[in-house]
Amino acid sequence: MPATNSADQKKLLDLTSSSIQYKLDGAGMSSDMDLGYTYGTTIINGKTDNYLRIWRWEKDEWKIALEVLRY
């Protein structure tokens, strides 16, 4: 279920407060070089699953626009 308000987001972060390990499996970039994505596997609380991040180029740096974690 998506965390769409600050209270739900805090609950979600508290549930995943242990360290999350990321392993990059692949990446790509738009032809305009202003959007990119990375994906791979995560280990959260000993369970291995998947993640996807969408990155956006803003003011001379990359910022995460969207992160999807499956656990």
> Per residue in 7-63, pLDDT tens?
877 777 776 656 788 999 999 999 999 999 999 999 987 889 999 999 999 999 999
CA distances to 11, 24, 33, 37, 56 from 30, rounded to whole Å, are 34, 18, 5, 9, 10
- What beta strand segments (E) does 18-60 contain? 20-29, 35-44, 47-58
- Whether the pTM exceeds 0.85: the reply is no
Give ∠ CA 15-20-24 in degrees, rounded to 5. 140
Domain borders along the chain are 20-69
Distance from the Cα of residue 68 to its chain's centroid = 5
Residue 4, pLDDT > 90, answer no
